[in-house]
Amino acid sequence: MNIVVCLKQVPETAEAEVKLASDKKGIEMEGLPLQINEADNYALEQALLLTEEHDGDVTVVTLGPDSSDEVLRMSMAKGAAEAVRLAGPAFDRGDPVAIARALAAAVKDLEYDLVLTGCMSSDDGNTAVGMALAECLDLPHATYVTQMEMGDGEVTVGRELEGGLIEKLKMKMPCVLGIQTGINEPRYASIMGIAKASKREIAMKSASDLGLDEGSVGEEGSRTKLEELAYPPVGEGAEILEGTPAESSGKLAEVLREKGFV
Amino acid sequence: MDEILVLAEHREGELRDITFEMLSKARSLGKDAGKSVTALLLGAGVGDYAEALKSHADEVLVLDHGNLKAFNAAVYQQVLSEVLKSREPSLVMIGHTAFGVDLAPGLAVTLELPFASDCIDLAYEGDDLKATRQIYEGKVNATVSFADAPTVLVTFRPSACPVEDAEASAGKVTELDVAVPEEPAMRQFLEYVEAAVGEVDITKADVVVSIGRGLREEENLPMIEELAEALGGVVACSRPCVDAGWLPKDRQVGSSGKTVKPKLYLAIGISGQFQHLSGMKAADTIVAVNKDPKAPIFSEADYGIVGDLMKVVPALKEKIAELRA
Amino acid sequence: MAVSLKETYELLGCIQCGRCTAGCPVGFRTYLNVRKVVYEGLTETGPRDAKGRPEAWNCTTCSNCTDRCPKGVKPMELLIGLRSAAIEKGKAMPTVRDALESTFKHGNPWGRGRDKRMEWAEDLDVPVADEGEEAPLLYFYGCTPAYETRAQDVAKSLVRVFAAAGVPYKTLGTAESDCGNEIWRLGEQGLFELLVEGNTELFRSHGVETIVTSSPHCMNTFKNEYGDLGIEALHYSQFLKELLDEGKLELPTPVEKTVTYHDPCFLGKHNEIYDEPRDVLNAVPGVTFVEFDRSRERALCCEGGGGRMWVEAVEERGERIAEIRVNDAVALGADYLVTACPFCLLTLEDAVKTSGNEGKIEVVDLSELVAMAL
């Protein structure tokens, strides 16, 4: 069984303070470590586990700048056989549909029984590329997948709905699945392994390599446009209890007493 | 007249809150921009819901068909495509829910609709729709504009908009006549499996002490358990803590976990992603402890402490013990 | 792996005397049996990585086994090698994986951002060397004192002591990165090499001549594992001893306490620094010093080393060693259990709680004790 995994590199922003770039179209990337998108990491692990069990290869595909090679190398260090990167300015600033269109052009020529993606990214948070990709490839799809059980030419998946309810579906393969975090325990890629993988080839694909009209991908191929970024209004609601930990928690304890919790 | 079309979402016999949230948003949008509001109700045996929707929309379109019993993105997409093609609403709203994220992207691709997902706000500037989305885990708001097109598609974030009171004037109900395909073999609904109920039911507790990624290590859990005990509450958490295996799934608060409405919700080391907020914002009193003064949780909280939870929690435990003594 | 364990770790000398196992602090409370691991390595009959031999993760790298081997076999290195083989295959438990990924991304194993690395120094006047600025005397505060709330007190105390003694030190601010000591012991040699390379370059760019560390772990790796670094690496206890001897540090305020001292493995067993911390401790006026029965080279390990801060111990049983240590200290009548290592500080302090000794004894870092006497 061969599996294609679409993944991306994102800046780590959970810990860091995010600062807007001066043009308000992006954020300051300096000082932000880059990493594989969290849900994509689970998708990759799922593909590796499945191909280990059912024999086959994993091909990782990304669309992104040069730095994205790092996540491809990390994927190869973990066991991916091939890596493809859609590279070139034509792909820049695409909306989810334009990104999906580009990815589909690269994926359609690969051999696969399954296409896995993370269900969402931590940067743009579209929660859309994977399912749009399925449509571009004309494949059945399901997202928020937290359970998978392989059958003969089909897979039973559990989709996590609101409230933790699981929706069980039977899907014919090939299909596209958006993988939710927590479905497995992603492995580690050792630095030595990544160094070894850095000698392996990454297939670079430009828009013309893929037979794509440049106007159909990237910003030009997008039907939405990012106008401006801003900081969300914060702290409106909360009355901040100031002081040292002892002082602020003292104030909080008083509040809790007034309200009858203590 | 231009219309805004809202796809009603329901599950297991109930209309979901997101439906009314979207209708409320659509009505305020429509009022300003001179657009009518239409609710689209697809399903099997859902005719009754039209009553509930009527007072929130100018028109309710109902397609009650056996093949629509299970939510199947493949079937729904085909039906929606037909409806959109014939009606050409200027805006289509679908919930940014497990249901919506499975359905909307494909629809955007097939109908070539300008599409923005997970919108938290929408506004018309003249004829142009602008959407606000949150990116970088809620740390940045992005304004998005759409290409000129007869119809624009958005998915709308749950709990992003309050539900406005229904209007006295009732909308009309129209039965739709659209062919509904059978559930395709390539994707078949099997069943719903309820989440397992654990030993502690966090939805029944008056006091919930909830932890997030900020706790950093499972080893720090006992401190939280002690605090919860001191307040007579239970320990809950956000999704990353479940992914990390610190706490079982039944302790998870948020859109893919439990929704809680306790008297007191203490969010410790939780940044406040919307998925989490939607599961706890109805709590009577919300207190947040976080190192990052910009954490979105502070917008939802009534009281906040900006500080290191490793210092604040022990100090708070001590102060509570002092008050008790 | 083409080379056999036998050859890589020179196991042929093993006479199966079992001194390694007898001296192993975790041997009696987990099923880690060092002699057996060596035997199966020698005969090539055992698992070849820590995935198949999870008890290898229980090793604290205290070095007792290697130190006590009469034939010069290095069982500790074998155990670390088994971890490496697992790491190479991506088989690291999640907590270890997260610590390693964080070190690669943020330069620390605690999962915290680099921009937060100097938060401990907020409100303190801590000198930071600008890029390229000379810093002949470098205070390497280390990851754990940077981020761990309790261990921050070590760094805070030390900068107070340095200021009082007029020490012309500098720090590298947020440019400082993990030293690699625990990383190597977790078996991630590639990452270790990356850190060595980066740190060496950084130190050289600042013309560093002497490094003073908060942690014995950082000192150990700088001193013994950084190849031709050419920089003197001192643990702060050594440095404070020098300051005291030179009359630069005065400790006028008595601390009327009975104290005992726990030897950190990486100060004691690994580097034979037993006297300096005791000398510094005894220079604090008012202190009554009582010695543990098991002290110096016989000291028990607190189980915080060898990457164990990030390891979920496999099938533990019985009392934790840190708890034994705390109980022994209480029995000695000590008010303070003093140590000189951030990991020891954390594990021992935790053990005070878990052994029910809260209120009976306090765990104090030597740096804090000295700061009390300023």
CATH at C13: 1.10.1060.10
User: Which among B244, B310, B311 is the nearest to C94, CB-wise?
Assistant: B244
d(CA C162, CA C169): 8
Mark which of C184, C210, C243 sits at the end of a domain.
C243
The whole domain housing C342 covers 250-372
Answer whether B256 sits within 8 Å of A95, measured CB to CB: no
Would you say C145 and C214 are in contact if contact means Cβ atoms under 8 Å apart?
A: yes
Is C147 in contact with C121 (CB distance < 8 Å)?
A: no
Instruction: Establish if B253 belongs to a structural domain.
Output: yes
Average pLDDT of the residues in C160-189: 97
Q: How far apart, in whole angstroms, are the C-alpha atoms of residue C127 and residue C150?
A: 22
Per-residue model confidence as pLDDT tens digits over C56-106: 999 999 999 999 999 999 999 999 999 999 999 999 999 999 999 999 999
Residues B164 and B67 in one domain: yes
**Per the CB < 8 Å rule, is C149 touching B245?**
no
Question: Which pLDDT does position C2 carry in this prediction?
Answer: 46
CB distance A226–B305 less than 8 Å? no
Question: Does C110 lie at the interface with B, CB-CB under 8 angstroms?
Answer: yes
Indicate which of A18, A32, A48, A190 best probes the interface with C, i.e. most C CBs within 10 Å of its own CB. Answer: A190
d(CA A135, CA B207): 45
Are B157 and B294 in a shared domain? no
Same domain (yes/no): C277, C337? yes
Determine which of A124-128, B296-300, C276-280, C346-350 has the lowest per-residue pLDDT on average.
B296-300
Mean pLDDT across C356-374: 97
**Chain B closest-CA separation from residue A224 CA (Å):** 4
Cβ under 8 Å to A: B residues 220-239: 231-232, 239
Q: Do A190 and C191 touch (CB under 8 A)?
A: yes
Contact B195 A233 (CB under 8 A): no
Whether C21 and C44 map to the same domain: the answer is yes
User: Are residues B228 and B166 located together in one domain of the fold?
Assistant: no
Please, which residues 49-78 of chain B have a Cβ atom closer than 8 Å to chain C?
none
Same domain, B47 and B151: yes
Closest chain C C-alpha to A188 CA, distance in angstroms: 4
Which residue does chain C place closest to A45, by CA atoms?
Answer: C90
pLDDT band at A101 (very low <50, low <70, confident <90, very high): very high
**Co-location of C321 and C289 in the same domain:** yes
Q: In this structure, is residue B180 part of a structural domain? A: no
Note whether B158 and B242 are same-domain residues.
no
Q: How confident is the model at residue A105 (pLDDT cuts 50, 70, 90)?
A: very high
Angle between helices C321-331 and C342-354 (to 10 degrees): 80
Residues of chain A positioned with their CB less than 8 A from the CB of B103: 131
Which of B18, B115, B229 to mutate to test binding with chain A, by most A CBs within 10 Å of its CB?
A: B115
Q: For residue A234, what pLDDT band results from cuts at 50, 70 and 90?
A: low
**Closest partner residue to A27 among B71, B136, B239, by Cβ?**
B136
Cβ–Cβ gap B101/A252 under 8 Å: no
Choosing from C228, C243, C258, the residue where a domain stops is: C243
Whole-prediction pTM value? 0.92
CA distance C32 to chain A (A): 24
- Which chains have at least 3 CB atom pairs separated by less than 8 Å from chain A? B, C
C112 Cβ under 8 Å from any chain A Cβ: yes
**Chain C environment of A17 (Cβ under 8 Å):** 115
Higher pLDDT, C33 or B196: C33
The verdict on C112 and C60 lying in the same domain is no
pLDDT of residue B1: 62
Q: Given A142, A224, A235, which is nearest B115 (Cβ)?
A: A224
Whether residues C232 and C130 fall in one domain: yes
Residues C229 and C285 in one domain: no
Q: Chain C: give the shortest CA distance to residue A184, in Å.
A: 11
The stretches in chain B having pLDDT less than 50 are none
- In this complex, which chains have at least 3 CB pairs below 8 Å with chain C? A, B
Same domain? C221 vs C281: no
Whether residue A152 lies within 8 A of chain B, CB to CB, comes out as no
Q: Are A48 and A40 in contact (CB under 8 A)?
A: no
Across the interface, which of C94, C111, C350 has its CB nearest the CB of B216? C111
Q: Are residues C260 and C344 in the same domain?
A: yes
User: What is the end-to-end Cα distance of chain C in Å, rounded?
Assistant: 55
Residue type, C300: L
Residues 83-102 (A) with a CB less than 8 A from some CB of B: 95-97, 100-101
Using an 8 Å CB-CB cutoff, list residues of chain A that contact chain C.
12, 15-17, 31, 33, 35, 77-79, 185-195
Do residues C284 and C311 share a domain?
yes
How many angstroms separate the CA atoms of C222 and C265, rounded? 16
Kindly calculate the radius of gyration of chain C based on its CA atoms and give it in whole angstroms: 20
Confidence of residue C231 (pLDDT cuts 50, 70, 90): very high
Domain finish residue from C218, C243, C268 = C243
Number of domains in chain B: 2
Give a yes or no: residue B188 inside a domain: no
Q: Do A15 and C189 touch (CB under 8 A)?
A: no
Domain of residue B245, CATH code: 3.40.50.1220
A255, pLDDT greater than 60: yes
Tokens at residue C210, please? 């002497």
B110, B218: one domain: no
Contact C190 A78 (CB under 8 A): no
C345 with C286, same domain?
yes
- Band (A229; pLDDT cuts 50, 70, 90): very high
Number of structural domains (chain C) is 3
Burial pattern B66-75, b for ≥16 Cβ within 10 A else e, equals eebebbbbbb
HSE-up (13 A, CA, CB side) for residue C121: 22
Which CATH number does the domain housing residue C268 bear?
3.40.50.10700
B248 touching A (Cβ < 8 Å): no
Instruction: Single out the residue in B156, B175, B194 at which a domain terminates.
Output: B175
Query: Does residue C159 share a domain with residue C236?
Result: yes
- Domain of B297 in residue numbering reads as 202-324
Query: Which residues of chain C lie closer than 8 angstroms to B244, CB-CB?
Result: 94
* Nearest CA-CA distance, residue B212 and chain C, Å: 14
- Mean pLDDT for A85-89 is 96
Q: Does A250 touch chain B (CB under 8 A)?
A: yes
What residue of C is the nearest CA neighbor of A184?
A: C94
Do B20 and B155 belong to one domain?
yes
Residues C239 and C155 in one domain: yes
pLDDT higher than threshold 80 for residue A235: no
Task: Indicate yes or no: CB of C190 within 8 angstroms of CB of A187.
Answer: no
- Residues B215 and B268 placed together within one structural domain of the fold: yes
Q: Which domains does chain A have, with CATH numbers?
A: 3-216 (3.40.50.620), 233-262 (no CATH)
Interface contact C111, partner B, CB < 8 A:
yes
CB A108, CB A168: distance < 8 Å: no
- CATH number for the domain including B29? 3.40.50.620
- Distance CA(B295)–CA(B307), nearest Å, equals 12
> What is the DSSP annotation of B108-171?
HHHHT--EEEEEEEEEEETTEEEEEEEETTTTEEEEEEE-S-S-EEEEE-TTSSPPPPPPSSPP
- Per-chain mean pLDDT for chain C: 94
Burial class of A67 by CB neighbour count within 10 A (0 to 12, 13 to 18, 19+): exposed
